[in-house]
């Protein structure tokens, strides 16, 4: 039986069209939660290096975190890293009913993604995600007031 809302892995790579759009705006320097094969920046942390335990410094961070149970920990880390000087751009599910959304995401700039992102997972068919996505930006310069807009990566 094909379970529509679950996966054998929580590591899904960001499609090039999505990363290139965001990188064109932000010029990322750190990818804190990736594999060696999916790293989007010269500086990156793999699961073994545990980006949650690393100092993100003053980096411009692209974060597509694992979408499992620890996603709230990643969002909290992103927000706290911004308070210490990192600019963090989070590509996450738009789960507006979660505690982490209200505790942290609402403090950032929010852009909802039009349509569904087709994340990359090995040799699978890369079907559209079964959930809506959002880009949440935590800015270290005190510009974290919540604003809401939309991003159209696919021109629909």
Whether 100 is covered by a domain: the verdict is yes
In the chain, the number of structural domains is 1
Q: What is the pLDDT of residues 10-59, one digit of tens each?
A: 556 899 999 999 999 999 999 999 999 999 999 999 999 999 999 999 99
Are 57 and 85 within 8 A, CB to CB? Answer: yes
Domain of 113: which CATH number?
3.40.50.150
Which has the minimum average pLDDT: 4-8, 45-49, 73-77?
4-8
Q: What is the pTM of this model?
A: 0.87
Q: 54, exposed or middle or buried, with CB in 10 Å at 0-12, 13-18, 19+?
A: middle
Q: What is the pLDDT of residues 36-47, one digit of tens each?
A: 999 999 999 999
Whether 68 is covered by a domain: the verdict is yes
Whether 6 is covered by a domain: the verdict is no
């Amino acid at each position: 039986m094909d379970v529509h809302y679950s996966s054998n892995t929580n590591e899904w790579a960001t499609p090039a069209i999505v990363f290139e759009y965001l990188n064109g705006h932000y010029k990322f320097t750190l990818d804190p939660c990736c594999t060696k094969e999916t790293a989007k920046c010269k500086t990156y942390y793999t699961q073994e290096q545990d980006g949650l335990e690393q100092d993100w410094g003053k980096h411009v961070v692209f974060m597509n975190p694992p979408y499992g149970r620890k996603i709230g920990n990643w969002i909290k880390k992103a927000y706290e890293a911004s308070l210490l000087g990192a600019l963090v751009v989070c590509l996450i599910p738009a789960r507006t009913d979660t505690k982490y959304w209200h505790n942290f995401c609402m403090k950032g700039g929010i852009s909802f993604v039009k349509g569904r992102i087709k994340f990359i997972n090995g040799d699978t068919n890369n079907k559209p995600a079964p959930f809506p996505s959002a880009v949440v930006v935590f800015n270290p310069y005190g510009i974290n007031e919540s604003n809401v807009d939309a991003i159209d990566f696919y021109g629909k």
